[in-house]
Structure 1
């Protein structure tokens, strides 16, 4: 009889019970949640490598911070499931819910502030020009904060954006018929077409005899450090660039939110099942 009992004990250790399997499943689910932080962090890092986003620094750091927090919480949940720590698992579920909601709010907010778009055709030009009034007030306010635009335009002037623009379009015909000029180059590296400047090079223009009353026309300078960086058209071009890049990052955020919701629901179910099995095990131990 004693030998039979020992064999039964050996078999019970050789094959994991339902509770152990539930904890293993919960550990795998929580690890998957940690892995889903990677595209979020990657989106933030990608934004920080874009010259315009690097100069403005609005979205990338919240994205990176949320991604890092999801990674840390996911790993904590993985450890809690692996070591069967109910208090850590409960903390994981609460913290992950807050982070998923925060990421969803950030994705929705990003979509909202980039909903309006600009890009106006110009007579005798294939490329588009941009108007600052077409963008959300929140984005415009970020650029108009005291001293903010001075720092941004100094940063933009240090990038190769306009130098590349000048090298790419060596002739007036090449520029005027170009089907695509980046919004940043269109707004910051040349005077607005409505000002009537005469092309010499892509970044050197002769002013008309009588300049238009538009402030952007007076703000243009052939000096490399100035160009049209003080123009509203430059702010508009920057916001259009930001809009395009933020929309791409927002797709990643939206997909990550959807995947995290699925993983979170699965985690809640696995946690509940593990707790039910634990209670059932204690019930059996108490009555046997």
Structure 2
């Protein structure tokens, strides 16, 4: 059992160490290619990747080299990481549980309303400073350039991403060039066909940003759940390896193995 638990935890930590590399890479990729320049998705991904890297390295050394202190440190860090990851995952599901868009009659795309999202998310786009930064990133990504040449028929048959639906056109209910008896959506008056204006000042554009963040965060939450299950399994095996390492050290206090020879770092016997 001693050999099995230490061998398993050694290989599993080697696997998670290698797995942390694409997680870190994904965080840097999202930071570079985000159309909204928001870092409250990229930052948790980078932190998760580096923590998994450090924990896996400590666990690998502790299991394969029979270093009790390393395994003890590994179990403490692992427990903290599991608790933090649980909190972050639950928080992510809570703040992104609302929204989702409303169907538009006769259209494939959906439209998004700012009031449908949680207060925490709305606060991310509430201040002018934050929104000016986000708007600059949307303009730089040329999100609206893909739909600028659409005909009315294209709007009826084609789907649109949340950013395109919220930022590149006025709400579908808007009426222009006619006498409107009832009041229209305030976003209708913020729309301008100038490519540098469009509907970037609209609440629908902010809602499109939040919907994009929500969808990305759900993907991150699924990844968190997978990593969480793996960490719990590693923690359980790590506890066994720690107990076995302490048992061997108490049995062979002078660093000798069962054959009476000096025990090396890779000697499981």
Q: TM-score range by the shorter chain?
A: 0.7 to 0.9
Per-residue deviation, 1:42: 5.0
SS of the aligned residue for 2:213 comes to helix
The alignment's TM-score, normalised by the length of structure 1, stands at 0.78
Match of 1:158 in 2: 140
- After superposition, give the CA deviation of every residue in 1:184-243 in whole Å (9 maximum; x if it has no partner): 10100001112124xxxxxxxxx5555945321111111111110110000111111221
1:87 and 2:66 are equivalent in the alignment: no
SS at match of 1:228: coil
Given the superposition, is the C-alpha separation of residues 220 and 163 from structure 1 closer, same or farther in structure 2, using an over 3 Å criterion? same
Flag structure 2 segments of 5+ consecutive residues without an equivalent: 257-269
1:24-62 per-position Cα deviation (integer Å, ceiling 9, x unaligned)? 44433432342443454355345435533x522211112
1:219 is the counterpart of 2:155: no
- SS of the aligned residue for 2:243 comes to helix
Aligned length, in residue pairs: 255
| 1:93-172 matches, cutoff 5 A | 93-167=75-149, 169=150, 171-172=151-152
**Structure having the higher Rg:** 1
The alignment status of 1:256 with 2:227, answered yes or no, reads yes
SS at match of 1:110: helix
CA distance in 1, matches of 2:33, 2:98: 21
Q: Who is 1:188 aligned against?
A: 167
User: Which moves more between the two structures, 119-128 or 250-259?
Assistant: 119-128
- Unaligned regions of 5+ residues in structure 1, if any? 1-17, 198-206
Deviation at 1:266, TM superposition (A): 0.9
Q: Secondary structure at the match of 1:194?
A: coil
User: Structure 1 residues 100, 40: closer, same or farther in 2, change over 3 A?
Assistant: farther
After TM superposition, the score normalised by the length of structure 2 is 0.84
Match of 2:10 in 1: 27
**CA separation in 2, counterparts of 1:276 and 1:208?**
85
Q: Which residue of 2 aligns with 1:276?
A: 247
- The answer to whether the 8 Å contact 1:29/1:266 transfers is no
Q: Which residue of 2 aligns with 1:231?
A: 202
User: SS of the residue aligned with 1:193?
Assistant: coil
Cα distance in structure 2, aligned partners of 1:189 and 1:94 = 50
Bigger drift between 272-281 and 188-197 goes to 272-281
Answer 1 or 2: which has greater helix percent: 1
1:181–1:29 CA distance, 2 compared to 1 (3 A) = closer
Residue in structure 1 matched with residue 236 of structure 2 by the alignment = 265
Q: Is contact 1:22-1:270 (8 Å) kept?
A: yes
Q: CA separation in 2, counterparts of 1:24 and 1:120?
A: 53
